[in-house]
Amino acid sequence: MSVAYHGLCRHLFLLGLSLLMLLLPGEAYESISDETLRSLPRPGNDFDINDGALLSPILIPRVPGTPGSTAVLNHFVDFFQTTLPEWKIEFQNSTSTTPMSNGKNVPFVNFIASRDPPGASPGDVEYVTFVAHYDSKLEPEGFIGAIDSAAPCAIIMHMMRSIDIALGNKWDAMQKTKTSSLDRKWGIQVIFLDGEEAFESWTADDSLYGARSLAEQWETQMHPAMSDFRTPLSAISLFVLLDLLGSQGPSILSYYQTTHWAYKHLASLEQRLCSLDMFKSSPGAPWFPDAAKDEHELKTFGGIQDDHLPFLARGVEILHLIDFTPTRRTGFQPVWHTIDDDGEHLDINTVEDWSMLMTAFAAEWMDLEGYFDTIDGPARRDEALANAEATRLAKKDEL
């Protein structure tokens, strides 16, 4: 990429500046530095569609209750057990008949992985939760669902692997100095949902099998008395749903006023990564066309039906990252729900760019500035901690 490329960057530079000056509701959200952005791990070969360690095992038909589904589930388990051993793995299972199952029950298995700060009781941890569905559509036969949602699953895997060491560094440093920043127990969570797709045609009953079951269970499953959060559902501070990502030139609208501030952070990071020449995909229109809007200017056409709905209905804060443009024929990319939604039709550079962007977002959300090893040297843990503590105390004095 060249200097001329900067002129084509997806966002106005001024937009980035104004975003930095925004005051955010509730919390001290600090931007991460250019130095940290530059040193975020890259996926290397892991998104290769033929032999990439993260993506290629998901690029198979994986209809609920079939061997393909089990194979992909095992891939997730394997990845977390091997690469992210500090993470807790759980399943949430349900069964349901479908319009195509002739009265037989089909099993649906949601995969959940999470990492908590050390010493925190489970009911006291609040999560930023990254979600994608891993099932594929029954029809057309042989359907792969690369953007829908194999690539989003692989992007999330890369994110978690990329921030895991910095997260550990931060928690180690906090424990060593017994800092009061431990008051707020931020954990991170991944959900790979089963049964998003309709078996016959999309209705309230024939779709979102896994999401409906999980939201229902998590609403009623009580944490121990005196916990900070009553249920696993109320412990989710932001539910970030990735769907239909991996085509070139995505367009992500902002659907919810209450999470528009988080959308803006993502847009700002996209602009910064682009300016730093860290994106590989061809520049085009902005990925986040609503970034310059005020939350009250968002079009409220109700959003798109997807896995977030059962959670939204129960009051969970949602950030829906789905490639959708009202002016396209279906609104979605041309490969959507066709046999062409396969590995060959992915734009791997865009998949990689998404993985870097989402990693940066998670790093900011988890407040990891200073805890990554950078090109200029190892993580400056103690300095980062001292800075964070100074900022926190300064903020406290202001109040």
The contact set with ligand NAG (CB under 6 A) reads 91, 93, 109
Q: Which residue among the candidates 164, 194, 243, 290 is catalytic per the annotation?
A: 243
The residues facing 193 across adjacent strands are 133
- Kindly give the pairing relationship between strand 236-243 and strand 318-322: parallel
Using CB under 5 A as the binding criterion, the count of chain residues that bind Zn ion stands at 1
Known catalytic membership, residue 243: yes
Comparison of 109 and 113: residue with beta carbon closer to ligand NAG: 109
Give the span between the Cα atoms of 177 and 172, in whole angstroms: 9
Q: Which amino acid is present at 321?
A: L
CB closer to Zn ion, 201 vs 220:
201
> Which residue pairs from 275-279 have beta carbons closer than 8 angstroms and sit at least 24 positions apart in sequence?
275/6, 275/9, 275/13, 275/16, 276/34, 276/37, 276/38, 277/1, 277/5, 278/37, 278/38, 278/356, 279/349, 279/353, 279/356
Is 38 or 337 the residue whose CB approaches Zn ion more closely?
337
Q: How far is the CB of 197 from Zn ion (least distance, A)?
A: 5
Q: Which does 93 bind (CB under 5 to 8 A by kind): Zn ion, ligand NAG, none?
A: ligand NAG
DSSP state of 196: -
Say which amino acid occupies 159.
M
Applying the rule CB under 5 A, the residues between 146 and 165 that interact with Zn ion are 148
Comparison of 126 and 194: residue with beta carbon closer to ligand NAG: 194
Beta strand 88-96 pairing with 106-115? antiparallel
By the rule CB under 5 A, 219 interacts with Zn ion:
no
Comparing CB distances to ligand NAG, the nearer of 16 and 61 is 61
Picked from Zn ion, ligand NAG, none, the partner binding residue 148 (CB below 5 to 8 A depending on kind) is Zn ion
User: Binding pattern to Zn ion, positions 179-218, x when CB under 5 A?
Assistant: ----------------------------------------
Question: Which one is catalytic: 116, 196, 307, 353?
Answer: 196
Candidates 145-153, 325-333, 356-364, 372-380; binding stretch for Zn ion (CB under 5 A):
145-153
CB of 336 to Zn ion, least distance (A): 7
CB proximity list for 381: less than 8 A, separation 6 or greater = 169, 170, 172, 173, 370, 371
How far CA 109 is from CA of 134, 177, 284, 364, in Å, comes to 10, 41, 38, 31
CA dihedral 299, 300, 302, 303 (to 10 degrees): 30
Annotated catalytic, 196? yes
Q: Rounded to the nearest whole angstrom, what is the least distance from the CB of residue 2 to ligand NAG in the complex? A: 50
Q: In the complex, which residues of this chain contact Zn ion (CB under 5 A)?
A: 148
Catalytic residues: 196, 243
